[in-house]
Structure 1
Amino acid sequence: MAFIIQWVTEIVIFLLLAMVIDFLLPSGKMQKYARLAISLILVLIFLNPLFRLFNTDINQLIQTQAQIFANQTMEEETLKKSVESKKNEIQASQDAYILEQMVVQMKSQAEETLAQDYEVEIQDINFLFTQEQKDIEHLESVVVTLAKEEVIDSIDQVEIDLEASEEKRDKQMDEAITSYLAQLWQLKQNQITIQWEGANE
């Protein structure tokens, strides 16, 4: 009689615990696996009297089932992380390739006019983004590195002017180039930053 009372008590306690676990688990595959494991354990508890008759260790069976469930969960999580990692790698390589092609295209669009009108050439183009997504919607600024073209046959003009006039002329040239590039690349002027090669050296 004591064995039957203990057996019924185990069933009731397990059902209560199973309900709590079911409420706590998020919906999805994890919940499906959890319900399967709980169902199997419940069947084992119901068959407890039979196992007692055949001297089978019920605790060992429950531990084995719990271990199998834990292994399945770990494998699923590992697979999910691996897939996510591969996805991020592929996305990063695609983003890098797209940006590289954009640089080539932007250079080819601007190089002829910059050489003829301003006697400068683009050395490099870098993109700054507001977020990790590297797309035009999250573009913060385009940093254009310029260098003055070497003109061998030109004769240096003699300038009789204040020193500040050269800075003013350079600033006007930067503004003119920025305005031209913004119009050409369909960007806002404040999204383009001009820097000169060797200026920070």
Structure 2
Amino acid sequence: MDGNSAEAERWLSIAEKLLVARDLHGTRTFAIRARESAPILADQILAVTDTLLTAQSNPHDWYGILQLVPLTQSMEVVASQYRKLALLLNPGRNRLSFADQAFRFVSEAWNVLSNPSKKAIYDNELRFLQFGQVSQLDQQQQPIFSHSSYRKRRLCSCSRLLRRRKPNRCSCKLHRKKRRRKLLNSFSREEALEVLIEMGMVL
């Protein structure tokens, strides 16, 4: 049992270092490995990574951010999932890197999905994007976000982030690789080797 706990602590330590470098996929991999022995901290880490990965792909995917099936109609389910994530990401309890950012995404999602009128507009936006259909009544209502801004946010913003001097926020493959290489210098040789093996970079 002590051996399992020690190994879980080592995995969590690696996960936290990867999270600082915003290597979300690597962080998630090691948090899952430690989940059985250290479920509380592992769940906090996974809440951060899963929220940010969803927002990274589409910052207006409110159902995905709350880890819900699109167009979920049960407010009890929506509220239950929000409370669960809010407890895991609350900055007063979760001191992990980017936990506050993930908490803001979850709060924004709840702000939309807990409001019946906002949710109705958003649901019809989703139906339009998915099926090209929207009711005549809801066509008259103002959308939460425009399709042009939606497409713009989904594009890789590497060049824009570099102009703002924020390369650490870019999620493109090149910058993830550079950040990972820089991060490995802070690991011990054994930790670095384990990360490389886990990421499939060492045969």
TM over 0.5, shorter chain: no
Query: What band does the TM-score fall into relative to the shorter chain?
Result: under 0.3
- Please report the TM-score for the alignment, with normalisation by the length of structure 2: 0.23
- Please report the TM-score for the alignment, with normalisation by the length of structure 1: 0.23
- Comparing both chains, which one has the higher relative contact order based on Cα–Cα distances under 8 Å and sequence gaps of 6 or more? 2
- Select the structure of larger CA radius of gyration: 1
Higher strand share: 1
